[in-house]
Amino acid sequence: MYQREFERKARIGLVGVGSHAYRNLLPALHFLPAELVAMTSRGQEKLQKTAAEYGCRTYPTAKEMYENKELDGVIISVSPQMHPELAIEALSHGVNVFLEKPPAMRASQVEEMIAARGDKIAAVGFKKAFTPGAIKAREVLETYGKTAGLRSFLGVYPMTLPDNGAEILESRTFTNWLGNGCHPLSLMMSCAGDIRQICAHHMPGGQGMVAMEFANGAFGNLHLAQEPMQIESYHLYGGSWRLSIENTDRITFDRGIPFEYAYTDNFAPAGFDSGSVVWLPQNCVATLENKSLFMQGMVGELQEFLDAVLDGKKQTFTSLEFALKIMRAYEAVLLSEGSWIEL
């Protein structure tokens, strides 16, 4: 649906009008039951221009915005160093919170937000868990999991791991692993569930891998591909099937074919209940399913937040509890140095 078609809308404030908020979060609201009514940001020139464009009022600080404007929720899109303080401030004023990822610099700060949440909604935008590929993977697991469940999970993501992980945690330094590691971790955990233990190994240049043993018995491997090739992929292997997600916009479900060694003589047997199915966005017309706001999960993550705010629906992959699991995995990778760490 479109914003103008909703009868009930959440009154939303915005903290931070940087490039991500302007490019992704604000445009996503055009398809959601939300009305942007107030904003604040440190950069006054961008703030005033953005507010004029969206027809809403500005405030010098978030505190003044909460005290002078009735809000159903606030979107916070600033540097993660500021997330915990700003989130707790909003919650203390009785305002529901949507935080851009990563939620904080340390897992302990997510625990502090959980303690401060009370009966309000606090969400974190793990967009990869809401991509069409992740949704389709969970559908396959729900359908086939009881008879041919997930056995292994390979993720390939263009990023590196830093050296001196313990020092980075102690100093709360922002790294590529903090900023982007939550993307593959959130997608993989949204499909495979909790991680029982994790092990990471990387070379001096940062290239390496993260091995995961999931609580359901599946094995995961996150391969850290070298930049600048900005292409990611995921491959889930079950007892009689495989699902691949390539670069967010191509999903292939391989169901295999009836096979008997030394006798099977046709790779395309009769019927349509075996072989592969491929889903692709159409790009011949300007529709919604081929827009990055939908393909990359921005609309989906905000939809879950607004559903919780307006209708009390239970959160799944935006909850602080899910964010805490992501942050604990993030920290364990930095401390692993080739050893398994239980989560």
pTM, to two decimals: 0.95
Asked whether 341 and 335 are in contact (CB, 8 A), the reply is: yes
What pLDDT digit, counting tens, does each position of 24-39 carry? Answer: 999 999 999 999 999 9
Structural tokens at position 283: 């790009």
Question: How far is 212 from 32, CA to CA, in rounded Å?
Answer: 36
The confidence score (pLDDT) of residue 94 equals 97
Is 80 exceeded by the pLDDT of residue 228?
no
User: Which residues make up the CATH 3.30.360.10 domain(s) of the chain?
Assistant: 130-291+325-342
Report the mean per-residue pLDDT for the chain. 94
Instruction: Please indicate whether residue 225 or residue 174 has the higher confidence score (pLDDT).
Output: 174
- Homologous superfamily (CATH) for 3-127+297-320: NAD(P)-binding Rossmann-like Domain (3.40.50.720)
Question: How far is 210 from 128, CA to CA, in rounded Å?
Answer: 18
Residues forming a β-bridge with 246 = 233, 250
Is 70 exceeded by the pLDDT of residue 317?
yes
Name the E strands within the chain: 10-15, 34-40, 57-58, 73-76, 96-100, 122-125, 150-158, 195-202, 208-214, 219-225, 233-238, 242-246, 250-254, 276-279, 341-342
Question: How far is 133 from 118, CA to CA, in rounded Å?
Answer: 33
| Percentage above 90 pLDDT, the chain | 83
The confidence score (pLDDT) of residue 225 equals 83
| Percentage above 70 pLDDT, the chain | 99
Is 70 exceeded by the pLDDT of residue 147?
no
The distance in angstroms from the start CA to the end CA of the chain is 40
What pLDDT digit, counting tens, does each position of 69-125 carry? Answer: 999 999 999 999 999 999 999 999 999 999 999 999 999 999 999 999 999 999 999
Is 70 exceeded by the pLDDT of residue 146?
no
Identity at 42, one-letter amino acid code: R
Token pair 């604040």 is found at 40
CATH of the domain spanning 130-291+325-342? 3.30.360.10
Q: Which runs of consecutive H residues, i.e. helices, occur in 11-131?
A: 19-20, 26-28, 44-54, 62-68, 83-92, 107-117
User: Which residues make up the CATH 3.40.50.720 domain(s) of the chain?
Assistant: 3-127+297-320
